Amino acid sequence: MKYKVTLLLLLAFKLTYSQFSYSLKVLVPGAVNGSTAYFKIWDFYSNHKFKKLDSAVVVNSEFSINGVLNKPCERAVLSVKENGIEKIYLQLIVDSGINKIIITKVDSDYYENKLRNTTFNSISNLIDNKIDSLNRKFEGNKNLTSAYKQESKLEVIKQFPNSFYSLIALRILSNQVDREQASLIKTFQVLDESLRRSALGLETDSILLSETTAINQVKAGNKVPQFFVKTANGKIFANGSLTGKPYIIAFSATWCIPCQIYQKKLLSIYHRYKSKNLKVVYFNLDDDVVKWRKHIIEKKLDWINVSERTKFKDSKIAKQFYAISIPLYIIVDKTGTIIYNGDESQDTDYNYLEQTVNNYLKD
């Protein structure tokens, strides 16, 4: 099985969000008077992440919370504590306007509590519930591909092209590992024009476009993008200096456990073929230079060690190569052409990596 550590790729946008008032009116039959209800609006998926907290006291099994959203709807968490003990925990979508919720039973199973024991008339929650149902169905089923799982969720989104939550759901899917960009783009085009032209819509469109461009430019058969980066000794290294020699670009990090697992295989390949001028450019996607230099010595990494001295999420070169999951290995031939991309080839355990090197360098 191939293990990876994934980065949620973020880009900076300056987009204006409108404000939408909402009112939450909740009935909890049997709740103890004086219990505290906590409400959290939570945008964890966009480039404008935020959390907004509020609370209310339960009186006669009821409570109300009013506020403002920066979108027509938003993901939220509702909980109720009695004597400091959490009795209700509910994830839901709050819409602008009035949200009437009736919680008729507290169930220990979050999904059951959400799907069976709450009442609210909301297309947003219907979409979210359908996607949650798919997640439960897919859980533990190793026979289903990532593409199939994504497409099943996108079919739900396509059923509601006018709902703002469809756009939110699509934005969440655009952050997931092993996402299929083409399917995401097609589904985005199905959404109503007003959604696509909203602040979140423009953000989503820009991200899908930029990621597609990055994916295409690092496919096998294309010329490798040029970059300049510092070595462990502080000298500037340019991958253009390796023209005429085959080399592997490896994106890694000292804190990445999967990277350390596959590092041993890469070292073995390098030592086997370095007599034939194979080079390895090994990126450390972290800003802890002391730990990195110590790691180089301890692991005897005698190849070209480079780093931007920034965290993974801030690496410009990682974004340039669409390295959102690490480790990522790319092979470049003597002419500067990419002949292998680990993500593109879906190379489980990187067996094809070694085969590609062997086939290219064999006598």
SS3 per residue for the chain: CCCCEECCCCCCCCCCCCCEEEEEEEECCCCCCCCEEEEEEEECCCCCCEEEEEEEECECCEEEEEEEECCCEEEEEEEEEECCEEEEEEEEEEECEEEEEEECCCCCCHHHHHHHCEECCCHHHHHHHHHHHHHHHHCCCCCCCHHHHHHHHHHHHHCCCCCHHHHHHHHHHCCCCCCCHHHHHHHHHHCCHHHHCCHHHHHHHHHHHHHHHHHHHCCCCCECCCCEEEECCCCEEEHHHHCCCCEEEEEECCCCHHHHHHHHHHHHHHHHHHHHCCEEEEEECCCCHHHHHHHHHHCCCCCEEEECCCCHHHCHHHHHCCCCEECEEEEECCCCEEEEEHHHHCCHHHHHHHHHHHHHHCC
pLDDT digits (tens, 9 = 90+) for 103-161: 765 445 544 444 344 556 689 999 999 999 999 899 888 888 888 999 999 999 999 99
Amino acid at 87: K
| Pair type for strands 62-69 and 20-27 | antiparallel
Residue 178: predicted pLDDT: 72
- For residue 251, the model assigns a pLDDT of 96
* pLDDT for 285: 95
What pLDDT sits at residue 203? 95
Task: Name the nearest CA neighbour of 23 among 54, 1, 60.
Answer: 54
| Residue 90 pLDDT | 83
Mean pLDDT of 284-313: 95
**pLDDT classification of 48: cutoffs 50, 70, 90:** confident
| Tokens matching residue 295 | 């790691």
- Assign 15 a pLDDT band (cuts: 50, 70, 90): very low
User: Residue 306 and residue 237: Cα distance in Å, rounded?
Assistant: 8
Which pLDDT score is estimated for 105? Answer: 53
Residue-averaged pLDDT of the chain: 87
Model confidence at 189: pLDDT above 70: yes
227-251 pLDDT per residue, tens:
999 999 999 999 999 999 999 999 9
pLDDT at 120: 60
Q: Please name the residues in contact with 200: beta carbons below 8 A apart, sequence gap of 6 or more.
A: 15, 17, 46, 71, 167, 168, 171
**Contacts (Cβ under 8 Å, ≥6 apart) of 213:** none
Domain 20-121 classification at class level: mainly beta
How much is the average pLDDT of 338-352? 84
pLDDT per residue as tens digits for the range 162-180: 999 999 999 999 988 678 8
Q: Mean pLDDT highest for which of 136-145, 190-199, 203-212, 337-346?
A: 190-199
* Confidence at residue 1, expressed as pLDDT on a 0 to 100 scale: 44
Does CATH place domain 228-361 in 3.40.30.10? yes
- Check whether 9 has a pLDDT greater than 70: no
Q: For residues 321 and 251, give the distance between their C-alpha atoms in angstroms, rounded to a whole number.
A: 9
- Taken in order 68, 122, 43, 112, the sign of the CA dihedral is positive
Res 30: pLDDT: 80
Q: Are the CB atoms for 304 and 282 separated by under 8 Å?
A: yes
Indicate the residue type of 28: V
Nearest Cα neighbor of 222 from 333, 109, 363 is 333
User: What is the pLDDT, as a whole number, of residue 306?
Assistant: 97
For 206-218, what is each residue's pLDDT tens digit? 989 888 888 888 9
Calculate Rg over the CA atoms of the chain.
25
Output the pTM of the full model: 0.71
Reported as a pLDDT band with limits 50, 70 and 90, residue 13 is very low
Using one digit for the tens of pLDDT, what is the confidence trace for 57-99? 999 999 999 999 999 999 999 888 888 888 778 889 999 999 9
Domain ranges (residues) in the chain: 20-121, 134-217, 228-361
Q: How far is CA 131 from CA 3, 128, 178, 201, in A?
A: 25, 5, 18, 20
